[in-house]
Amino acid sequence: MARATDERRSFMHIRALMAQTSEGLIATGPAGEVRVFNETAQQLLGKSRDEVVGKPYHALGEPKLEAAIERIMRPRARRDPQRVRLTREDRTLTATVAPYMCGDDRAAVVTIRDDTALEGYRKQAEAILASTGDGLIVFDPDEVVTYINPAACDFIGVKPKSVLGKRKSLWDLLDMVAEEGFDPAYDGSQVREVRLEKPAHRILDVRTDPVLDESGGYLGFVATLHDVTAEREVSQMKNEFVSTVSHELRTPLTSIKGYIDLILEGEAGEINDIQREFLSIVKENSDRLVELINDMLDISRIESGRIHLKVQPLDLADMAAGAADTFAAVSEQSGHRIVLKIPPDLPRVAGDRDRVGQVLLNFVSNAIKYSPEGGVVTIRAKLEDDMVVMSISDQGIGIEKADQKKLFTKFYRVDSSLTREIGGTGLGLSICKSIIELLGGRVGVRSTPGKGSTFWFSLPVARKDLVRTPALEGAGVGGRVLVVDRNPEVANLVETYLVRQGYEVEKAYSSSEALVKARELKPRVITLDVMLDDGDGFELLQTLKDDPETADIPVLVLSIVCDEGRSCRMGAAGYLEKPIEKSRLLTIVNDLVGSVASPVVLVVDDDRSIVSLLTATLKTKGFSVIAAYDGAEAMAAVRKRKPDAMLLDLQMPVMDGYQVIEAIKTDDELRDIPIVIMTAYQIDRSRTDILGMADTKVDKPFAPEELLNRVEALLASEPKEGV
Ligand code: ADP
């Protein structure tokens, strides 16, 4: 009796506990009759114990739940719990049905939870995510899509159903709609631009971020798709506008600048001092205008990705020396001293000679410009890991911390009476930053107001296999040049420049006239403005190159449109942008005339002073010269243009003279190039067989005259075709 009371007591106890739980509990017996139906279950399902207990589970009146109980009770059914959602008008219930063993038989136990609040939060969160303009896609760690918002569906043109729960990588999804050539390879950046062509043309910034739980565990990642189509298009329109306007400004400026120069040089007769002074002011301002236009064009090229960088190994020590030379006269006048502190063993960097030169000149010119009291400008360089850092320090006015951050943005100038007086566009540093970053480097500044500033840039060390391709150095000989330009003023200007250098000039103002004159006169060089009234200048270029009679005449394209690449592909021998700079024009024309007329000698030596000595000597004798500073450069030059003779040093870095001889003398195309070896060192006995392949040898030190005689003798003994 006491035992029965105990059992009853513990049963009551369990009942009381069950009544207290916040989850509904239902249990069936093996025959499917409901045995347990606690208070919470009564509340949630709205049924009393009397209606249900002792009756078959169908009495629950919940078809979805009954189906799940039925499945679970089947003998040999799966044992994992089944989840069923019971939706009411005002609430969401989640029932979990699991099997349990009642003696030897299977029965079902059901727990019911009220998820109304949770479901409310979920709906709210989804509503928030759905209302953002950005696309969102959530992936689990196996790249299964667990959520996609309406904006993302809209961008990629999919229905949520077709991707949810599917294993699809982000790039698979984007690949379905991206423009051709989409490369899904991870490029190391977290944000990348993807251009879509379907369902609509769109440019998206795609950003991926990992999703981590509280303890840092990886739950997958979320991709954010941000539509930047409008921004990109506006910026492209702006770039095109700037570029068009700048080009339009260049044409009249070409005439203004050119004719002022001629008047100032006395070509229009004597001018008096006042006229000279006034004209100098006009010249100064037109120069500034050209500078501004060039800066704006540079920026629009950089921003629209139309800048062409020719990356080759650069010797920054050399370039720094060049910059110091360029500013020698200016710095002397302004009381500045330019000091170079560059280690002798500085490796070469990978960069574009003209563009890196532009950056260096900009930094040095700023250092002088913003140090009104004079002082020392120091150019330093050092190796840091695999980058070379070059810095330019001055003792000038310095820059406040707040300004330092903004200096490298477009048009930013420190606002002070001094900078206003000094004048400038505020574009230089922003161009420098873009150029250096495009080349894989960085820029920065350190400064103390009143003490001075240090601007620096870094560039990656050149890889061993990156080789400079040396080209012809200038050589001036007269001859006939055909100038083709629809604008008579510009044609006259070019004519004046050339005539004063001893060239004979013929002019043509249209494509048809140019063609007739080219065939008839066989000029040594043609300068061609590709904008012609009676046809596209490129077509004329093509016709000239296709016709065997004119194919060999080098054509120098003068253009206000940046189309160097196209010109060169079509066979132009040179390219020059307007407004024409006299010295550049003359250098190129001289080169081109030299390249058809005089024999070309390739001088190869790592000692630059020897190269420049030989270059000067050879040029005075009417040779054209290509200078190379190591074997690899020499081979690059030879492949570009076969020289008529070669002066070769043996001991050189990268690729030595022996290797060059071997490469040339074992190549059927090249073996007839006569080689003169210049050496001061002991000959490597193990390689004398290679030396035997060369044509002649002179020992250092030698008199340049002696070398010249050898070259002339070699050229005379080996007459070659085409020379
Ligand atoms: P600009 O010299 O044409 O104004 P930059 O882009 O080259 O344009 O320079 C931007 C601004 O940075 C300058 O206006 C000047 O205020 C400041 N700055 C540049 N270099 C120096 C320097 N070496 N010392 C002090 N201020 C400088």
**pLDDT for residue 719:** 46
Q: What is the pLDDT of residues 428-456, one digit of tens each?
A: 999 999 999 989 899 999 999 999 999 99
Q: At what angle do helices 488-499 and 582-597 cross, to 10 degrees?
A: 60
Asked if residue 510 lies in contact with residue 533, where contact means CB atoms within 8 angstroms, the answer is: yes
Q: Which residue has the higher pLDDT, 593 or 66?
A: 66
The CA distance from 537 to 533, in Å, is 9
Residue 367 CA: nearest ligand 1 atom is: 23
Q: Which of 290, 404, 407, 446 to mutate to test the pocket of ligand 1 (most atoms within 8 A of CB)?
A: 407
**pLDDT for residue 644:** 86
Residue 429 CA: nearest ligand 1 atom is: 6
Dist. CA 420 → ligand 1 center (Å): 11
Dist. CA 428 → ligand 1 center (Å): 8
Upper half-sphere CA count for residue 429 (Cβ side, 13 Å): 22
Dist. CA 409 → ligand 1 center (Å): 11
The CA distance from 674 to 687, in Å, is 19
**pLDDT for residue 681:** 63
Dist. CA 426 → ligand 1 center (Å): 7
Upper half-sphere CA count for residue 632 (Cβ side, 13 Å): 11
Q: What is the pLDDT of residues 486-523, one digit of tens each?
A: 888 888 888 888 877 777 889 999 998 999 899 888 88
343 cis-preceded (ω within 30 degrees of 0) = no
Dist. CA 303 → ligand 1 center (Å): 21
Dist. CA 444 → ligand 1 center (Å): 13
In sign, the C-alpha dihedral spanning 167, 171, 175, 176 is positive
The CA distance from 460 to 477, in Å, is 40
What is the average per-residue pLDDT within 71-85? Answer: 84
**pLDDT for residue 514:** 92
Is 311-460 the same fold as 17-117?
no
Dist. CA 74 → ligand 1 center (Å): 84
**CB of 429 shorter than 6 A to ligand 1:** yes
What is the average per-residue pLDDT within 324-339? Answer: 90
Instruction: Name the CATH superfamily housing domain 311-460.
Output: Histidine kinase-like ATPase, C-terminal domain (3.30.565.10)
For the domain covering 17-117, report its CATH number.
3.30.450.20
In this structure, of 169-178, 339-348, 462-471, the range with the lowest mean pLDDT score is 462-471
Q: Which CATH number fits domain 132-227: 3.40.190.10, 3.40.50.1860, 3.90.550.10, 3.30.450.20?
A: 3.30.450.20
**CB of 452 shorter than 6 A to ligand 1:** no
**CB of 410 shorter than 6 A to ligand 1:** no
Dist. CA 414 → ligand 1 center (Å): 7
Q: What is the pLDDT of residues 185-208, one digit of tens each?
A: 444 446 777 888 878 888 898 888
The widest CA-to-CA distance across the chain, in whole angstroms, is 140
Most confident of 25-34, 87-96, 527-536: 25-34
The model's confidence at residue 342, banded by pLDDT at 50, 70 and 90, is very high
Dist. CA 293 → ligand 1 center (Å): 18
* pLDDT for 179 beyond 70: no
Residue 424 CA: nearest ligand 1 atom is: 3
Residue of 609, 667, 663, 610 lying closest to 633 (CA atoms): 663
What is the average per-residue pLDDT within 30-53? Answer: 92
**pLDDT for residue 723:** 32
Asked if residue 521 lies in contact with residue 496, where contact means CB atoms within 8 angstroms, the answer is: no
Mean pLDDT of the chain: 85
End-to-end, the C-alpha distance of the chain in Å comes to 130
**CB of 431 shorter than 6 A to ligand 1:** no
The identity of residue 697, as a single letter, is K
**CB of 657 shorter than 6 A to ligand 1:** no
Counted residue by residue, the chain has a size of 723
Residue of 381, 377, 325 lying closest to 348 (CA atoms): 381
Asked if residue 381 lies in contact with residue 389, where contact means CB atoms within 8 angstroms, the answer is: yes
Most confident of 179-183, 303-307, 418-422, 604-608: 604-608
Residue nearest to atom 25 of ligand 1 (CA): 398
* pLDDT for 30 beyond 70: yes
Instruction: Name the CATH superfamily housing domain 599-717.
Output: Response regulator (3.40.50.2300)
Asked if residue 474 lies in contact with residue 598, where contact means CB atoms within 8 angstroms, the answer is: no
The model's confidence at residue 176, banded by pLDDT at 50, 70 and 90, is confident
Dist. CA 120 → ligand 1 center (Å): 58
Instruction: Name the CATH superfamily housing domain 472-595.
Output: Response regulator (3.40.50.2300)
Residue nearest to atom 20 of ligand 1 (CA): 366
Q: What is the pLDDT of residues 548-561, one digit of tens each?
A: 888 888 899 988 77
Dist. CA 366 → ligand 1 center (Å): 6
**pLDDT for residue 387:** 94
Residue 425 CA: nearest ligand 1 atom is: 3
Asked if residue 625 lies in contact with residue 456, where contact means CB atoms within 8 angstroms, the answer is: no
In this structure, of 59-68, 412-421, 629-638, the range with the lowest mean pLDDT score is 412-421
Residue 151 CB burial class (10 angstroms; 0-12, 13-18, ≥19) = buried
Which tokens hold the place of 539? 């077509």
**CB of 428 shorter than 6 A to ligand 1:** yes
Q: Which of 429, 436, 445 to mutate to test the pocket of ligand 1 (most atoms within 8 A of CB)?
A: 429
For the chain, what percent of residues have pLDDT higher than 90? 30
Q: Which residue has the higher pLDDT, 561 or 299?
A: 299
The CA distance from 426 to 362, in Å, is 11
Residue 452 CA: nearest ligand 1 atom is: 24
Domain locations in the chain as residue ranges: 17-117, 132-227, 232-304, 311-460, 472-595, 599-717
Residue 392 CA: nearest ligand 1 atom is: 23
- Hey, how many other C-beta atoms are within 10 angstroms of the C-beta on 559? 22
For the domain covering 232-304, report its CATH number.
1.10.287.130
Strands (E), 276-425: 311-314, 336-341, 349-352, 375-384, 387-393
Distances in whole angstroms, Cα of residue 369 to Cα of each of 339, 398, 433, 700, 708: 16, 12, 19, 45, 46
Q: Which residue has the higher pLDDT, 377 or 313?
A: 377
**pLDDT for residue 186:** 42
Task: Write out the H or E segment, with its range, that includes residue 235.
Answer: helix 229-264
Strands (E), 218-275: 218-227
Q: What is the pLDDT of residues 377-424, one digit of tens each?
A: 999 999 999 999 999 999 999 999 999 989 999 888 888 877 777 777
Dist. CA 237 → ligand 1 center (Å): 28
What is the average per-residue pLDDT within 140-166? Answer: 89
Q: What is the pLDDT of residues 32-43, one digit of tens each?
A: 999 999 999 999
**CB of 424 shorter than 6 A to ligand 1:** yes
Residue 413 CA: nearest ligand 1 atom is: 14
The model's confidence at residue 638, banded by pLDDT at 50, 70 and 90, is confident
Distances in whole angstroms, Cα of residue 371 to Cα of each of 384, 397, 634: 28, 6, 42
Residue nearest to atom 21 of ligand 1 (CA): 366
The model's confidence at residue 596, banded by pLDDT at 50, 70 and 90, is low
**CB of 396 shorter than 6 A to ligand 1:** yes
Dist. CA 284 → ligand 1 center (Å): 20
**pLDDT for residue 476:** 41
Residue nearest to atom 23 of ligand 1 (CA): 367
**pLDDT for residue 130:** 87
The model's confidence at residue 720, banded by pLDDT at 50, 70 and 90, is very low
Q: What residues contact 291, with CB distance under 8 A and at least 6 apart? A: 425
Q: What is the pLDDT of residues 79-114, one digit of tens each?
A: 788 889 888 888 889 999 999 888 888 899 999 999
**pLDDT for residue 1:** 53
Dist. CA 341 → ligand 1 center (Å): 23
**CB of 394 shorter than 6 A to ligand 1:** yes
Residue nearest to atom 8 of ligand 1 (CA): 426
